[in-house]
């Protein structure tokens, strides 16, 4: 069963995807994303793979007859894709060349353009889950794309906040965040000519980095060729910095936030919304996990167990270590 169920308390939809309980854990002697599996091309650098166990589908089943006029259910319309970063099973993203990661950026752009042609799609969400700590069952380097027919609540909240700030001040909220972080400077980890990497003042994860474009651009397809190169460089450095922090593959959730598509209510979002990538790494020491507990899940009252001004110093040291290794 896969369907959308209406949550009247939050004015939002819940995806029900019981079909995903059958997805396999990674066999020790076989990987569907490796070139000898018969599931992917014999030769690829980056590759789009339709999810075998999608939560959303462009040919969704009819919802179960268990709802009512009050408890609404709708088809789980959308798309779920897997984006393979490399044919190498054990490679880390930061070990790839900038030219290779640029091809990943280009594939994201291609998929964004193609998926947006479906007028029923309202938001295209590019993301990566890394590590068993966030539920990854397939360790081969990959990310995913979910295309939603309903605007996700968090994205909608961000869009509304940015629109309100723009209407009140005439400025982009995230441009203002960039300015505040540049002025304070203590939470910026590194930057290049087109992007900043910093721990926002408010982040609820001790190492919850943001990658934010310096120019006011709403979506990944707005970037110039040079900016796409810069984004590839930032991704390599960010993941490499994480892995140097505790000298281990660092688990995280990487979430790309950008303008919606086919959404007349946000048709002018290019004025006030701004491309950024949010990282949610669950570790707050080399072996301690930051769980979302009752206050955070039940009340949305986020609590960061560390000061980001302190963890920023740790990340800058990790970045220095990574820079030396990568140069070598």
165: tokens are 């700030």
Distance between CA atoms of residues 61 and 215, nearest Å: 42
Position 22 pLDDT exceeds 60: no
SS3 328: coil
pLDDT for residue 210 is more than 80 = yes
Chain-centroid distance, C-alpha 93: 15
274 is catalytic: no
pLDDT at 28: 67
Is 24's pLDDT higher than 70? no
What's the pLDDT tens digit per position in 216-263? Answer: 999 999 999 999 999 999 999 999 999 999 999 999 999 999 999 999
Task: Sort 72 into a burial class: Cβ within 10 Å, 0-12 / 13-18 / 19+.
Answer: middle
328 pLDDT band, cuts 50/70/90, is low
Residue 165 clears pLDDT 80, i.e. is over it = yes
Residue pLDDT, tens place only, 69-104? 999 999 999 999 999 999 999 999 999 999 999 999
- Which residue is catalytic, options 47, 100, 140, 142? 142
Please return the burial class of 286, using the count of CB atoms within 10 Å of its CB with bins 0-12, 13-18 and 19+.
exposed
- State the architecture of 2-22+30-327 in CATH terms: 2-Layer Sandwich (3.30)
Contact (Cβ atoms closer than 8 angstroms) between residue 80 and residue 145: yes
Q: Please determine, for residue 327, whether its predicted confidence score (pLDDT) is greater than 80.
A: no
Q: What are the pLDDT digits (tens) for 253-312?
A: 999 999 999 999 999 999 999 999 999 999 999 889 998 899 999 999 999 999 999 999
């Amino acid at each position: 069963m896969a369907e959308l169920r209406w949550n009247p308390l939050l004015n939002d939809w819940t995806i029900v995807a019981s079909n995903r309980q059958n997805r396999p854990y990674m066999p020790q002697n076989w990987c569907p994303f490796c070139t000898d599996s018969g599931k992917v091309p014999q030769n690829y650098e980056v590759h789009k793979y339709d999810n075998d166990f999608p939560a959303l589908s462009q040919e969704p089943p009819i919802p179960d007859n268990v709802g009512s006029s009050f408890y609404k259910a709708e088809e789980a319309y959308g798309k779920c894709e897997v984006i393979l970063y490399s044919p190498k099973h054990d490679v880390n993203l930061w070990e790839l060349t900038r030219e290779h990661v640029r091809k990943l950026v280009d594939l994201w752009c291609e998929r964004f353009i193609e998926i947006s042609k479906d007028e029923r799609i309202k938001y295209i969400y590019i993301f990566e889950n890394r590590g068993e700590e966030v539920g990854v069952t397939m360790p081969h380097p990959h990310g995913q794309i979910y295309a939603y027919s309903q605007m996700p609540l968090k994205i909608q909240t961000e869009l509304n906040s940015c629109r309100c700030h723009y209407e009140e001040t005439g400025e982009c909220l995230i441009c203002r965040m960039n300015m505040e972080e540049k002025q304070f400077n203590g939470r910026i980890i590194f930057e290049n000519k087109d992007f900043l990497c910093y721990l926002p003042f408010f982040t609820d994860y001790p190492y919850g980095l943001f990658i934010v474009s310096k120019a006011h651009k709403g979506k990944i397809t707005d970037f110039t060729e040079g900016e796409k190169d810069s984004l590839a460089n930032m991704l390599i450095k960010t993941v490499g910095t994480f892995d140097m922090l505790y000298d281990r593959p660092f688990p995280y959730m990487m979430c790309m936030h950008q303008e919606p598509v086919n959404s007349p209510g946000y048709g002018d979002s290019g004025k006030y919304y701004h491309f950024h990538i949010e990282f949610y790494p669950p570790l707050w020491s080399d072996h301690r996990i930051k769980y979302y507990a009752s206050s955070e899940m039940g009340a949305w009252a986020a609590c960061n167990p560390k000061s980001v001004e302190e963890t920023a110093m740790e990340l800058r040291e990790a970045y220095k270590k990574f820079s030396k290794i990568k140069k070598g």
